[in-house]
Amino acid sequence: AKMVVEQVDGRFRKVQIPLFLADPDRITAEDRYWSSFKGVDTAPHLAAVSSLSFSPVSPCDLVASASTRLHIYDGATLAAKKTISKFKDVVTCGSYRADGALIAAGTKDNRLKVFDVRSRVLLKEFSGHSDAVRVAQFSPLSLTSVLSGSDDSTVRLWDLPSGKTNVVFQGHSDMVRAACQASSSSWITASYDHTMRWWDERTGRCERKVDVGGPCDALAICPGGATIATGGVNGISIWSLLTAQLVHHLPNPVTCLAVDPVKGRLLSGSADQTLNIIDIDTFNITHSIRQSASISSIAISPEVIAIGMADGQLSLRQRRPGVVPAPLPTPHGGTRRYFMRGTNRSVPQQEDYRVDLERGPKLKPYDTFMKKHQFASALNSVLSTMNPNIISGILHELRARDAMIVAISGRDDQGLEPLLRFLVKYVTDPRHTRLLRDVADCILDVYADNVGQSPAVDRLFRNLESKISEQMALRPIMMRLAGQIDMITNTTS
């Protein structure tokens, strides 16, 4: 019979790492996620990047409109893939169809054009507007419907096979700049006339109108589908799709909006060169990305953020792929490995039994050194991390064991520098000041006779003295301030 015994080590108490209140400026999980998108350089365009759109079909190619061209970028490599230049005037907008096979583009010469992505052939050209077309969008629910919005204040829904207008939405009194489909028969548009309107494509009538408080440049249905965001010079407003009531308002002026399909965040770009990521549940800005120029358009796919700017720059940020574990080798049928699989596994016997004993906690390297009473090695192992909490925990333990002098003694200038550098950095941190004051006293007791032998160590001693002198000079000022605060609070109470 076989018996398995696991070792127990429960006699050593690990070093207790002190816990402090979270730093409000610490890097959060949200920051780490958005920082994982790394920028890729692209050639500048001749004019502002007026619109961006990702294909819904993998690999999610990107189409960007700038000047008199549509530029298509590979969604996987982010390399320039194709250019469509069959335009006589400036291209104002462009977007993919739901199957990724076609692109619709609006132009300043009042045209709506539809291109085949693979061949770049112009399939349809729609003319019916009397001014520049600013919105070109396929219906996400129908492959044969495409919508256009124009500076002539009208919105048209076209039938792709016949090339005719299905319905004209008339009601806006100024330029139409954004649109999205709310349901199978309902569209929402926004205009510079300060209104957002719901349209029924079956009747062509405006079913609902909301005053958004200013010119509106962008629309985006928020994650979850219960709210819609409008954006313009008066900020971002979140509206209920069911009741058309205002849910929340952010005063930051914006030029464009997009919705992240992975994290469920609302992205906004503005003329102050900032891309903000907004949590729809709390309406807080969870992360910001600075750009080199005013942001004119944004789009996001599961792996890429595209940011178009007014100076023609296009910033593409691709998320670093995670480490995918290699699949386990699988033996192929008919091979020797296939027929011999499982023969190296022992068959349990009836008389076998297993004794499971509680396994002791796995020790960190500094715990191992402390257990062996190698105090200097324990301190060296944590000084290399420059983690103030771990280093403070070791120093607290050394002081409790009366081993501080042992851990600090016997160091040359290279061994003393990391400890002095830590003191200089954190001696003014109120969470560590008392402890580091005792550490500084020990260092001076041990190395006072060695001052002047190493320029690097002398410089660190001078920096430490300067830090302490600054704090001593600040102390009477803070005491006076505390007295003034006490006087004010006592008066008001």
Domains of the chain, by residue range, sit at 40-318, 365-488
Check residue 8 and give its pLDDT. Answer: 39
Check residue 3 and give its pLDDT. Answer: 34
> Is 183:201 a contact under the CB 8 Å cutoff?
no
Q: Which two tokens stand for residue 149?
A: 């919005």
Could you give the strand order of the β-sheet that contains 80-84, starting from the edge strand earlier in sequence?
49-54, 62-66, 69-73, 80-84
pLDDT in tens, 128-143: 999 999 999 999 988 9
Long-range contacts formed by 88-91: CB under 8 A, 24+ apart: 90/47, 90/50, 91/50, 91/65, 91/66, 91/67
- 455-492 and 413-426 are packed helices; what angle lies between their axes, rounded to 10 degrees? 20
- In this structure, of 13-17, 169-173, 281-285, 403-407, the range with the lowest mean pLDDT score is 13-17
> What is the chain's mean pLDDT, rounded?
87
Q: Which two tokens stand for residue 432?
A: 């560590």
Cα–Cα distance for residue pair 264/256, rounded to 1 Å: 17
DSSP-H helix ranges across 352-454 = 365-371, 375-383, 388-400, 404-408, 413-426, 433-447
Q: Is the pLDDT of residue 28 over 80?
A: no
Cα–Cα distance for residue pair 227/84, rounded to 1 Å: 35
> Is 286:276 a contact under the CB 8 Å cutoff?
no
DSSP assignment, residue 332?
P
pLDDT in tens, 45-97: 989 999 999 999 999 999 999 999 999 999 988 999 999 998 999 999 999 99
Judge if pTM exceeds 0.85: no
Question: Is residue 415 exposed (0-12), middle (13-18) or buried (19+ Cβ within 10 Å)?
Answer: middle
Check residue 159 and give its pLDDT. Answer: 93
- 433-447 and 413-426 are packed helices; what angle lies between their axes, rounded to 10 degrees? 150
DSSP assignment, residue 442?
H
Q: Are strands 176-183 and 164-170 parallel, antiparallel or unpaired?
A: unpaired
pLDDT in tens, 378-397: 999 999 888 888 999 999 99
Q: Closest Cα partner for 95 from 43, 138, 40, 150? A: 138
Q: Return the SS3 of 480.
A: helix
pLDDT in tens, 253-290: 999 999 997 888 999 999 999 999 999 888 899 999 99
pLDDT band at 450 (very low <50, low <70, confident <90, very high): confident
Q: Which two tokens stand for residue 196?
A: 């957002």
pLDDT band at 190 (very low <50, low <70, confident <90, very high): very high
385, HSE (Cβ side, Cα atoms, 13 Å): 15
* Phi, psi (deg, nearest 5) at residue 54: -95, 145
Cα–Cα distance for residue pair 414/436, rounded to 1 Å: 20
Q: Which two tokens stand for residue 283?
A: 């309406």
Q: Closest Cα partner for 167 from 154, 182, 178, 184? A: 154
Q: Which two tokens stand for residue 255?
A: 């030029």
pLDDT band at 30 (very low <50, low <70, confident <90, very high): confident
Percent of residues, the chain, with pLDDT higher than 90: 56
Q: What is the dihedral of CA 264, 268, 274, 277, to 10 degrees?
A: -20
pLDDT in tens, 306-344: 999 999 999 999 987 654 445 556 677 778 777 777 676
Q: What is the dihedral of CA 185, 190, 195, 198, to 10 degrees?
A: 0
For tokens 């907008």, the residue is 93
- For residue 443, count other CB atoms closer than 10 A to its CB: 22
pLDDT in tens, 224-259: 888 999 999 999 999 999 889 999 999 989 999 999
Check residue 322 and give its pLDDT. Answer: 52
HEC profile for 40-104?
ECCCCCCCCEEEEEECCCCCCCEEEEECCEEEEECCCCCCEEEEECCCCCCEEEEEECCCCCEEE
Check residue 347 and give its pLDDT. Answer: 63
Check residue 326 and give its pLDDT. Answer: 52
Q: Is the pLDDT of residue 24 over 70?
A: no
* Phi, psi (deg, nearest 5) at residue 460: -65, -35
Check residue 196 and give its pLDDT. Answer: 96
Q: Is the pLDDT of residue 7 over 50?
A: no
Q: Pick 357 or 169 by higher pLDDT.
A: 169
Check residue 6 and give its pLDDT. Answer: 35
Question: Is residue 285 exposed (0-12), middle (13-18) or buried (19+ Cβ within 10 Å)?
Answer: middle
Q: Which two tokens stand for residue 423?
A: 């003191």
Check residue 26 and give its pLDDT. Answer: 66
Q: Is the pLDDT of residue 164 over 70?
A: yes
Match domain 40-318 to its CATH number in 2.130.10.10, 1.10.579.10, 1.10.240.10, 1.10.8.60.
Answer: 2.130.10.10
pLDDT in tens, 346-358: 666 777 777 766 6
Q: Is the pLDDT of residue 305 over 80?
A: yes
> Is 345:337 a contact under the CB 8 Å cutoff?
no
